[in-house]
Structure 1
């Protein structure tokens, strides 16, 4: 009996019945361990599928992270490339400015003798004959062998710096572009009544909205409607010079503003006593209007 119980525990019997009563009943005896094995075998694909799904999701997450990193790297590369391109452009601009400065330095030497009295200077380095040493045989030593020339050289550099500083306060910048003069300084027929009159400025013909530039560094002392001048700006440059910009359509500065030479301060218009769009420009020296063309023509190339 014990053996039969042990045998029953280890074996599962499956009985197959038929609808035909004459057929023998079929019994299948399957060891319990086989059933367990088959059950475990059936679980293997399920575990493999779950593992595959989990692995795929993990791989997909890693791929998304890699794509995100790649996009970040690509964006950084594009930013760096843009910075490199900008630096290349800035390099070209710097080289152009250096070339322009070299040209201006050469031209400054040519124009230096034409400076007004209040902006005089020089580039020669004066030396005394006593500064030129001689050899024992009486021949002259090079001035470069003497230390006295250094003092003169430093004085000359200081003088050039002073000239450059004063140039910033001289109204030598053309007040608009293009540089088209429609009426000169001096005697002319009044455009309204055709009678002789004194024109105290220089007129520049240009369309409404054309930029107007400050002729030199200075402080705005007027920015308002000014009688027949219409919208007017007056800039005080020093104790000697003022400049006046009249008939403007728009004023870009206000009273008390500091401006730099070449800075846009307004736009050409047709306000006030005017027959058409233009800029009426005056240089006033020690309270008296003077011919602006003498300053503009002498320094035209150095102030564009």
Structure 2
């Protein structure tokens, strides 16, 4: 999607952390388990990237990061990836600040951290190989923006701006599940095509679709829509990202076979379909937990 050049994105809560030579992880505990079992958007095995050893020479404190003070307008968001992330944050935040109360919940903001290389989180140490994820203990979304290059080169997504923002909107959806009690209500982390793990991920895809549909009517504090009306090619971009990270597609590419009993995120078809469900019908249609297994 394209930002309106004069939209005010200065309220976006994204921060940028610098590169560090070493991160103190402090051991593998509940937070690390959450990373491994809850926060994997892209089906990557994070076990090699959660450091349970001794602290290293440099530590980056959780919650720190530089404000993106040069990212002020939609024109900045159209020109720069960090600013686009900040603009996405401003738009998604404005959407959920209205939508969640309408659904009967109480909204509170997540933190949103951009990093390079590796960083410390409330769920343990994350590296660029982790992929974007949401950490429930510190209510923070973490994205290494270099991942978007990998989304195009490794996973085969067309990777346009809406595909990039879909990733952020999906992770914001996990925050909505966290503060709305959905994660607590469905604590099982079993795998399988109809598991709660898959249902959580598909619901986050649906929430992302609901934001995308409302994005061109979601306005800044001056009444200017953050984003211009969505086009069909842009929807196709977002769907290509959803398809690229389906469990079946990743398994086929990596092992030559498909094992639905090990799925944690859903198939390419499911991820696309639930994104479109949210896009066409809104967040109120995103109850993936009441759908029988055969229709999921």
TM-score category of the 2 structures, normalised to the smaller one: under 0.3
TM-score, normalised to structure 2, is 0.20
Structure (1 or 2) with the greater strand fraction: 1
Structure number with bigger Rg: 1
